[in-house]
Chain A
Amino acid sequence: EAQVTQNPRYLITVTGKKLTVTCSQNMNHEYMSWYRQDPGLGLRQIYYSMNVEVTDKGDVPEGYKVSRKEKRNFPLILESPSPNQTSLYFCASSPRTGGSWDTEAFFGQGTRLTVV
């Protein structure tokens, strides 16, 4: 089954304790990205990656890191989480079609993070 898998689904942590949220896709997609969803703000892009070892900042990258060492995996790293990073996080992947980038077609089920 084609899917994007995020882990964990739920996480409660304390301020300053480094954490990683994993994301894996089994569709051989080139493009992957991370979003956070907050009430009244919709989904905002944190980072994206157009291919292995190619990453770039989205609209709200502060406090986050990513890596893309393999095509299928795109982990989100919070080196020193703070309470304002409490949010619902989504990973997404999309294929590239022809000469242009395709649309965001597949989202993971989300990771609800609480930082206390």
Chain B
Amino acid sequence: GQQLNQSPQSMFIQEGEDVSMNCTSSSIFNTWLWYKQDPGEGPVLLIALYKAGELTSNGRLTAQFGITRKDSFLNISASIPSDVGIYFCAGLYYGGATNKLIFGTGTLLAVQP
């Protein structure tokens, strides 16, 4: 089946540093999504990207939908301790009766105060 390669698997950074993570795929997606999962909770949508080349910001978060539609990245600027969690990318394709969302394997982010 389709797979999303998400990297890095984990990051351990100091508070105030910028963070970058990305996802690549062998398949084309219509939409790219980025989620954050806190311990003991379900994923929460951070940013959704709908068009190739689109660059979208949400506070300190910035994400881009790659031109080839096969990749996306997420940047977090000036990290703070509450940024700790697992970040997932997800690619969505839909057409007619088909609607599939594929998740990456996640990036574990640890922020040291």
Q: What residues of chain A have their CB less than 8 Å away from a CB belonging to chain B?
A: 4, 31, 33, 35, 40-45, 48, 50, 56, 58-59, 90, 92, 100-101, 103-105, 107-110
Contact = CB atoms under 8 A, between A and B. Distances in A.
A56 B96 CA distance: 13
A105 B101 contact: no
B44 to A, nearest CB: 7
B1 A40 contact: no
A42 B31 contact: no
B99 interface: yes
19 contacts: A4-B42, A33-B101, A42-B6, A42-B104, A43-B88, A45-B101, A45-B102, A48-B99, A50-B97, A56-B97, A59-B1, A101-B92, A103-B31, A103-B45, A104-B90, A104-B101, A105-B45, A110-B41, A110-B42
B39 to A, nearest CB: 11
Given A50-B97, A92-B42, 8 more contacts: A42-B6, A45-B100, A45-B101, A58-B100, A59-B100, A100-B94, A104-B45, A104-B90
A103 B103 contact: no
A54 to B, nearest CB: 9
Nearest to A110: B42
A31 B33 contact: no
A109 B48 CA distance: 21
Closest 6 CB pairs of A and B: A107-B42, A43-B103, A42-B103, A42-B105, A101-B99, A101-B94
A74 to B, nearest CB: 14
Interface in B62-113: 88, 90, 92, 94, 97, 99-106
Contacts of A33: 101
Interface string B12-54: 0000000000000000001101000000111111001000000
Contact of A31 (B1, B99, B104, B105): B99
